[in-house]
Every structure is written in C-alpha cells, then in structure tokens.
Chains A and B, each alone.
Chain A
Amino acid sequence: MKNLQSKLSGFLLIFSLALNAQGLKPGDEAPSFSLLNVDGKMVSLSDYSNEKGVIVIFTCNHCPYSVAYEDRIIALDKKYKPLGWPVVAINPNDPALQPADSYDKMQERAAEKGFTFPYLWDDGQKVFPQYGATRTPHVFLLQNTDGKFFVRYIGAIDNNYEDAEKADKKYVEEAIAALQAGNYPSPDFTKAIGCSIKIKK
C-alpha cells in the first residue's frame, strides 16, 4: 500500500510538473496589459499603437542575469525607440517572495541606472503567465499591425549573458532588422538561462 501510494504521488508530482509550459508562440496576438510604472502612472500596450512595435522584456532587480543585461536593455531602448521599437520592461516577481523586487526597489533601481523606458510592476502576477514568461530576462518582441500586437520573437537578447562584447548573435536586433525589411525573424525563438519567476503559491 505504501509503495502504491508513493508511486501514485510520484506520478502526480511528475504530472503536475509537466503542466507549466504554456504561453505565447511567435505569430500569436499579444494580450494587452495596463500596469503601474515606476513613475506612478499606468502604462498600457495600447499606448504604443503609433509605434512599429514594442520590445517587451520581463526582467527584475535581483536576478544576476537581469543585472548583467541592464546596460544592454538601456542600449536597445536608446537605439530602437527612435526607430519605432521602444522597450517596455515588466517585473513579474512577487515582492513577498523576493523583497529586492518590490515596487520601491524598482523605483530605486530605475533611478540609479537611469532607465530610459517604463519599468512596470506585474502587480498580482496576471500578465506574465499570459505571455508565458518563465524567467528573467525574457524578451517578447511585438509587432504592431493596425493596432494589434503580434509576437515575432521570443527569447534571449543575445547569445552571451556574461559578456556583451563576446555576443556575436544579437537576437533582438537581428529580429527587428528582419521585420524592418519585411521578413519574419529567424530564429524567432531562443532559449536562455535565467532566474525563475518567483510565483506566489
């Protein structure tokens, strides 16, 4: 009986662990959101309906990979905002589980680093599951087509988290270049190591 029980709960464990892979794929329409920015104002995806697209990046304060990419995220925004592809950063973590990712600390970090883009708080953790973000940093490149936003690339910013200089594949930049030229990006999906998103249980 005990053996059966342990087998059964083992099966249930494996089953429940397999259920987490959901979310957007390239080509899907991105759900809208309206979230609180570090400046105290709400920011919505629909605010960007005059842009060519939006570089949505799930990121946060505490994660070393996010920190390693901060300067690169700022550089992306500075380069691509004038071209119609601004960055919108979203912190998906539950601050109760990761105090370094609280709204106050987000404001501090944004000021310290001089973020040139909105840094939004996914209060209640409703947005990141709809996108299928699983880690930080995690990029969703959205293209605006008549006010609807479609996912064109999901994944990493580039191919070297430790050293920007050594990154020889700049996935987000290459994806935008492809879209600007009227093509779909290739690759449209990459994987990367990141910090798991801290989810309220």
Chain B
Amino acid sequence: MKPRVVLLVFFLGLNLHVVYSQKVSVIGFDELQSKFIRSDDTLRIFNFWATWCKPCVEEMPCFLRAAEQFRAQKVIISLVSLDFRKHLESRLIPFIQERNIRLPVLLLDAPDPNQWIDKVSPQWLGAIPATLFIKGNKTFFHESEFTCEELNLLINKYLEL
C-alpha cells in the first residue's frame, strides 16, 4: 500500500510540475497581438508586469482574486510578463510556483519595445504596471497600479459596456 501512495504522490508532483511549466508561454509580440480579440463580447484583460516590479507584484493578488470573483462572467485575465527571457527558469517560474499563480502567464520576448508599445496603446509611456482592457471594439488602457477595489470597479464598468 505504502509504496503505491509514494508513487502516486510522485506522479502527482510530476504532473503539477508539468502543468506549471506549461503555464508560461514564451511569445513574440505578433502572437500577443493575436490574442487581442475584438469579435465577441468577452472582456479581455492583459496585465503587463514583471517579477522585479514592486507595484506589479503588489497588485497581482487583485488580479488573481478578480479572476475568481468574475469566473462566471465573460472575463479573461492574462498576465504578460516583461521579465528578461534569460530569467524564465531562474525567476519567473519559481515566482509563479511560490505564489501559486493559476492564471495564464505569457512571457513577452520582444526586447525592442519601441516596435510594439504603441500597438498595445499609444497612451502607454512605457512604465509598468500597465493594464489593457479589450471589450469588443473598445479598448481601455491604464498605466498605473490598482487597488483591488479600483480593479473590480473597472471590470464591472467595462463589463456593462
């Protein structure tokens, strides 16, 4: 009996690890942009962050909580990491594991931001955290840190549009 349990735990552990590593997709900007879908009425939220960005890390629990809170509604939250590509294994994956982040994380591997910042939003000056909201043909962009209350307020507001 006992060895089986150990084996089971071993496989579960293995599975968990695989799931976590799959959760980070390393993508270029074109692939990110292909996720800016406007053809339905789902509210898509893209939070631009990095593990080293203090205010980003502070507001992250709000995004995790919002994902739970709005689970029954048409809301998709994606976390777009601007960590350096070379820090994927050493920083980003451990961060996601430690904090038990269950939202999709996209590592944007596009180190020439001048090529794509304006395509996210012409308003964006380049600081993070920054968050893009897309709902149908409407786009909203905020280059600032949110409290959970502010974030929920915006989600509610944009959902009603």
A residues with CB within 8 A of B: 6-7, 9-10, 13-14, 17, 20-21, 63-64, 68, 98, 134-135, 155-156, 159-163, 166, 169, 190-198
Contacts and interface: CB of A to CB of B under 8 A. Distances in A.
B144 A17 contact: yes
B113 A193 contact: yes
B156 A193 contact: no
Nearest to B84: A162
Interface in B52-78: 52-55
B102 interface: no
B114 A156 contact: yes
B85 to A, nearest CB: 7
B106 to A, nearest CB: 15
Size bracket, chain B contacts:
20 to 34
Given A134-B126, A161-B111, A191-B114, A13 B150 contact: yes
Contacts of B50: 64
Q: Which of A162, A166, A190 has the most CB of B within 10 A?
A: A162
Given A161-B113, A196-B55, 5 more contacts: A13-B154, A98-B54, A160-B111, A195-B52, A198-B54
A76 B160 CA distance: 51
Given A10-B153, A10-B154, A135-B125, A162 B53 contact: no
A199 B123 CA distance: 20
Interface string B113-141: 11101100001111111000000000010
Q: Which of B125, B140, B150, B154 has the most CB of A within 10 A?
A: B125
Given A21-B125, A162-B111, A6 B117 contact: no
B111 A166 contact: yes
A14 B126 CA distance: 18
A162 B84 CA distance: 7
A195 to B, nearest CB: 7
B82 interface: yes
Contacts of A64: 50, 52, 84
A191 B117 contact: yes
19 contacts: A6-B156, A17-B142, A20-B144, A64-B50, A68-B84, A134-B125, A135-B125, A135-B126, A156-B113, A156-B114, A160-B111, A190-B114, A191-B125, A192-B117, A193-B82, A193-B126, A195-B52, A195-B127, A197-B127
